[in-house]
Amino acid sequence: DDVKSGVRVMMVDDVLATGGTMAACIGLLRSLGAEVIGAAFLMEIEALHGRDKLGGIDVCSLVKC
């Protein structure tokens, strides 16, 4: 309830695996009226294709394996 409509949000997490957790967070923020501008991760497990669940937002990963 602290997220104001129209606020721009950059999501940051440690690992992108299947994308389910980040997709749920993005959905929640959007339902509150936030604009999710991107997501950043320390590591991405590419074989699990988690990026595909994130609705086309910009994704940055420092390490891909």
Measured CA to CA, the distance from residue 44 to residue 16 in angstroms comes to: 5
For residue 3, what pLDDT is reported? Answer: 87
pLDDT tens string 5-37: 999 999 999 999 999 999 999 999 999 999 999
Measured CA to CA, the distance from residue 34 to residue 2 in angstroms comes to: 11
CB 6 within 8 A of CB 36: no
10 Å Cβ neighbour count for 24?
11
Read off the pLDDT band of 1 (50, 70, 90): low
Measured CA to CA, the distance from residue 20 to residue 32 in angstroms comes to: 19
pLDDT tens string 38-62: 999 999 999 999 999 998 899 999 9
